[in-house]
Amino acid sequence: MLKRKLIFFLVTLPGVILISLPTLSIAADDGAAFLKIGEGVKALGMGGAFVAIADDGSAPLWNPAGIARAKEKRINAAYSDKFNIGIKNEFLSIITPSYGISLYKVGVGGIPETLWGPDGSPQKIGSFSDEENALFLSFAFKYTPRLWIGINGKYIYQKLYNKEASGLGLDLGSIFQATDSLSLGLTIQNIGESRLKWNTSSSQTDKIAQNIKAGFALRLLKNHLTLAADVDNKKEEYLFHLGAEAQLFNSLFLRVGSFQYSPQNRIGDILTGGLGINIGKIQFDYAYIPHNLGTTHKFSFQTKF
């Protein structure tokens, strides 16, 4: 329990500092950090190499153009306890071949609120929570027989202790089917930089840096094997993602990938895995995502209609 509380404190400390300094006017450079890794059980099981695939309910978070390639309407719901320490991740989306709406929520509760006691030691006087939310409205269309284009408008809201922040963002994505087996994807997230404005006395503002995702997906063996690779370019930093998916017996999908959290990680340092089971119009997915803070087990349910 002490370990979990310590991690809660370390995770939320930067935000607590920001809202506790009423005269601070310099914008933070990495707002809405919960969007950095993203959501999507299939995508993360493949190491986050998904910008040229984006073929399920999590498409708006990776490449909104992907929803235009869907042939049916879909409802997708996902849940995980990040690092297995009480950081709840929840995702819900409804998409059609032309538009979609998605809600992504991350929350931590029971963060200890303390004051220094008379003896100089910290004493708990209560608790508070951190809530981070992103609402996506997505639109996509087929521009040519081989090119799909999509756009996200998003509203981001965060509440930490008794302070709140909100902001708007815009994403633009495309998928190009170069050959029957090779697809290319490109997404620009937070075009021109997004901002989160806090309701502090100084109107503290967090910047959400623009991120460019590019990648390819190669389908082999009559589409039973998919190999994919992505690169993220954010603030002159490059992060690489590799993934693969094998389809067995027409209903079982096995996935593996390599996720680079930061430039300090080498390719192959963090290996992810997952599987999917398809039963008619229903699909269940699972992803295994290791991290120094703990392992995350992600689960999702998707149905077509």
The whole-number pLDDT of residue 7 equals 40
200-222 pLDDT tens trace: 878 888 888 899 999 999 999 99
Length of the chain in residues, anyone? Answer: 305
Distances (CA, A) of 268 to 47, 217, 265, 290: 10, 19, 8, 12
Low-confidence spans in the chain with pLDDT less than 70 = 1-30, 265-268
Distances (CA, A) of 96 to 42, 55, 133, 242, 299: 19, 12, 22, 28, 22
The whole-number pLDDT of residue 129 equals 82
Q: What is the pTM of this model?
A: 0.83
Cβ-contact 45, 56 below 8 angstroms: no
Distance, in Å, from the CA atom of 279 to the CA atom of 252, rounded to the nearest integer, reads: 9
Tell me the chain's radius of gyration from C-alpha atoms.
20
Distance, in Å, from the CA atom of 119 to the CA atom of 22, rounded to the nearest integer, reads: 28
The whole-number pLDDT of residue 287 equals 96
Those residues whose C-beta lies under 8 Å from the C-beta of residue 214, and which sit 6 or more positions away, are 51, 184, 185, 186, 187, 230, 231, 233
Distances (CA, A) of 205 to 26, 45, 105, 161: 7, 34, 21, 17
The whole-number pLDDT of residue 86 equals 83
Distance, in Å, from the CA atom of 57 to the CA atom of 274, rounded to the nearest integer, reads: 17
Tokens matching residue 96:
């059609």
User: Is the CATH number 3.40.50.11890 carried by domain 30-110+126-304?
Assistant: no
3-state SS class at 36: helix
Distance, in Å, from the CA atom of 211 to the CA atom of 155, rounded to the nearest integer, reads: 17
The whole-number pLDDT of residue 121 equals 81
DSSP state of 267: T
